[in-house]
Amino acid sequence: MTKPVPTPDADAVDWAAMKRDLAPVAIIDETVLVKKRSRDFFWYSPVLNAQLKRSFGDLVAQPKTKDELAQCLSVAFGHNAPVVLRGGGTGNYGQSVPLHGGLIIETLGMSRILEIGPDFVRVEAGALMADINAALKAHGREMTMFPSTQDIATIGGFVAGGSAGIGSVANGPLREPGNIREIRALSVEETPVEHVFQGEDVLRIHHAWGLNGVITEVTLRTVPTRDWISCMATFDSYADAYRAGYALANRQDIDRKLVSVVDARIAAYFPRLEGHIPKGRDLMVSLVPREQLDAFHDLIRAHGGTVALSMDDAERAAAGIPHVFEFGWNHTTLQVLKSDRSATYQQYGVNDPSDVERVAALHARLGRRAWMHHEFSRYEGAVTASDLPIIWTQDESELRSVDALYRANGCTVYDAHTYQVEGGGMKPDFRHLAVKKRMDPKGLLNPGKSRSWADVSHLSPDEIEALAR
């Protein structure tokens, strides 16, 4: 048993000496630019906005190679400086906000695509996902999934902070075995060491918010690319749209890679769809391979819907319509917040996604308080549904009362209003903190973002691991 690891103190760091020791790594020390790189999309949440809006880093480093990244970590180790990794800064929970100040390491300069194999791609952590998908397309492949922020978000940030996205209804979430083949990550020590995580061990780094090691490279499974057609179907009621969405998600003969169901009142906040989608109708947004469009049309008709939009990428671009996935996942929330900041959102898992009647009953009970938006995915072969509703409040007690209503109606809350990694429900035990103790013995990485670290940091990695059994 040793002493608890103290929280690193950015005020005690000699920043002038840090800057000298970081050379020749590029740095940014202009306050306004450092502050800008201390933000992410936490402002979606009124709770996080109040808690994080005054948290800023002290200095930004921009390594271009693995050696430069290792140098940054070694220097931070020597100065006991807090360290926060940053890719595109598009996380939603303040994941890349430096709660205790310190060094921000921006990975955008480490963006090489290292290897494209028959069914995999190996990339540096700072590669943008749109660039990875573009490179894969030339090989007839694409990523198993990506977030709607692919143009500005990095693969390192997605693996460290994200969970699922466009493609997950076909290929599962990131944590589905085989989707992440390998993660390489540096420890934070005097001489950082690159560790290789494969198989189940990738889950110790995935969705650990950069607390457990610094990702240098990721190897991901890829799938054949298709001639994707952007589709939008409209329905008389939310229940009809949800029922059709559930049916489409279950169809193995239609290789859909997106099935989003959006309340008509949310669709009213999509001005760029005006003239393309009839007003006041509940929506299903999808991406379907061209050769399976007939089957898709049949499915929509059978569920009482109408296909209002069906375009390939060239037609869509000519019509001035963004990617349809910008009307799904967390972009749906952004479309509303762009015109009205008095709303927020939440993340709920639907425990029995086949129970359409229960979804419809909750939709009616929520009334004007919350407007539903479901995303269908697949996990270990079974279709799953999550609801990311627009919730019309800035008041936490009202938000928690909506949470309670969802819980009472067969849903699990994956809280989007917490800046601690355990709060979202994906790190339920201590195993990832055993890895943290090995990889980051001084607790310098993203301090304050783990609720449980203070309880176990005095233990050895093996002792922490034993707590999880």
The number of helix segments (H) and strand segments (E) in the chain equals: 17, 21
- Contact assessment for residue 101 and residue 11, using Cβ atoms and an 8 Å cutoff: yes
Residue with smaller CB distance to ligand FAD, 310 or 332: 332
Q: Which residue from 9, 10, 70 is spatially nearest to 34, judged by alpha carbons? A: 10
Residue with smaller CB distance to ligand FAD, 310 or 377: 377
Q: Rg of the Cα trace of the chain?
A: 22
Q: Binding string to ligand FAD for residues 206 to 225, with x set by CB under 6 A, is what?
A: ---xx---xx----------
Residue 317: which H helix or E strand, with range? helix 313-318
Residue with smaller CB distance to ligand FAD, 163 or 234: 163
Token readout for 301 is: 């008709």
Residue with smaller CB distance to ligand FAD, 41 or 77: 41
Taking the complex as a whole, the smallest distance from the CB of residue 89 to ligand FAD amounts, in Å, to 5
Taking the complex as a whole, the smallest distance from the CB of residue 276 to ligand FAD amounts, in Å, to 21
Residue with smaller CB distance to ligand FAD, 5 or 143: 143
Q: Mind spelling out the 3-state secondary structure of 252-306?
A: CCCCCCEEEEECHHHHCCCHHHCCCCCCCCEEEEEEEEHHHHHHHHHHHHHCCCE
Position 153 contacts ligand FAD (CB under 6 A): yes
Taking the complex as a whole, the smallest distance from the CB of residue 360 to ligand FAD amounts, in Å, to 25
Token readout for 364 is: 């009616």
Residue with smaller CB distance to ligand FAD, 196 or 466: 196
Token readout for 379 is: 């996990």
Helix locations, 80-178, DSSP H = 129-137, 155-161, 168-171
Q: Which of 88, 172, 192, 443 binds ligand FAD (CB under 6 A)?
A: 88
Taking the complex as a whole, the smallest distance from the CB of residue 174 to ligand FAD amounts, in Å, to 7
Position 89 contacts ligand FAD (CB under 6 A): yes
Taking the complex as a whole, the smallest distance from the CB of residue 366 to ligand FAD amounts, in Å, to 22
Q: Which of 57, 87, 101, 448 binds ligand FAD (CB under 6 A)?
A: 87
Q: Give the strand order in the sheet containing 26-28.
A: 26-28, 59-62, 103-106, 83-86
Residue with smaller CB distance to ligand FAD, 125 or 284: 125
- Contact assessment for residue 88 and residue 158, using Cβ atoms and an 8 Å cutoff: no
Q: Is 395 exposed, middle or buried (0-12, 13-18, 19+ CB in 10 A)?
A: exposed
Position 163 contacts ligand FAD (CB under 6 A): yes
Cis amide prior to 271 (ω within 30 degrees): no
| Cβ within 8 Å of residue 381, ≥6 positions away | none
Q: Which of 8, 157, 172, 389 binds ligand FAD (CB under 6 A)?
A: 157
427-446 positions binding ligand FAD, by CB under 6 A: 446
> 């019509």: which residue's tokens?
319
Q: Which of 42, 56, 77, 158 binds ligand FAD (CB under 6 A)?
A: 158
| Cβ within 8 Å of residue 155, ≥6 positions away | 87, 123, 125, 126, 127, 128, 129, 132, 218, 220
Position 92 contacts ligand FAD (CB under 6 A): yes
Token readout for 101 is: 């100040």
Q: Which of 148, 187, 219, 260 binds ligand FAD (CB under 6 A)?
A: 148
Residue with smaller CB distance to ligand FAD, 141 or 331: 331
Say which amino acid occupies 110. M
Position 188 contacts ligand FAD (CB under 6 A): no
Chain length of the chain: 469
401-430 positions binding ligand FAD, by CB under 6 A: none
Q: Tell me which stretch binds ligand FAD (CB under 6 A): 60-68, 262-270, 285-293, 327-335.
A: 327-335
Residue with smaller CB distance to ligand FAD, 130 or 467: 130
Q: Which of 25, 38, 41, 204 binds ligand FAD (CB under 6 A)?
A: 41
Taking the complex as a whole, the smallest distance from the CB of residue 183 to ligand FAD amounts, in Å, to 9
% helix / strand / coil in the chain, to the nearest 5? 35, 25, 40
- Contact assessment for residue 75 and residue 18, using Cβ atoms and an 8 Å cutoff: yes
Position 102 contacts ligand FAD (CB under 6 A): no
Q: Which of 38, 90, 234, 260 binds ligand FAD (CB under 6 A)?
A: 90
Residues that bind ligand FAD (CB under 6 A): 40-41, 84-92, 95-96, 107, 125, 147-149, 153-154, 156-158, 160-165, 209-210, 214-215, 329-331, 334, 446
